[in-house]
Amino acid sequence: MKSIPELFNKIKKENPDWSDYICLAEAISEHKCSKKEIERYFKMFVDPDDYSTEERSKIIDFLCSVLPKKEQKYTWPLTQKQLEKRIILESYGIFV
């Protein structure tokens, strides 16, 4: 899988009329990114003058809500609460 900067540049080159935000959203659509990673890429690729601070925050929150989530890492042994959460998730077909 290509890195996000490589994908962003490829998408931007293929779609010059797209905004930086749309190119970024497309580039990260298949990656599992944390909020901090999304914020970093947003600052890296999107012109700060394009969106106000409040708009940027809402856009980043939206991207976090629709993108695949990073897997939660458990340390072993699991605490009782982690074990219960894992059992509940697995009962819904979500395996962690």
Q: Where are the domains of the chain?
A: 4-70
Task: pLDDT band for 88, please (50, 70, 90 cuts).
Answer: confident
Share of the chain above pLDDT 70, in %: 84
Q: Does the predicted model carry a pTM greater than 0.85?
A: no
Task: pLDDT band for 30, please (50, 70, 90 cuts).
Answer: confident
For range 2-24, the mean pLDDT: 91
For range 7-11, the mean pLDDT: 93
Distance CA 19, CA 95 (A): 36
Task: pLDDT band for 70, please (50, 70, 90 cuts).
Answer: low
Tell me the helices (H) and strands (E) count for the chain, helix number first. Answer: 5, 0
Spatial contact of 2 and 39, defined as CB atoms under 8 Å apart: no
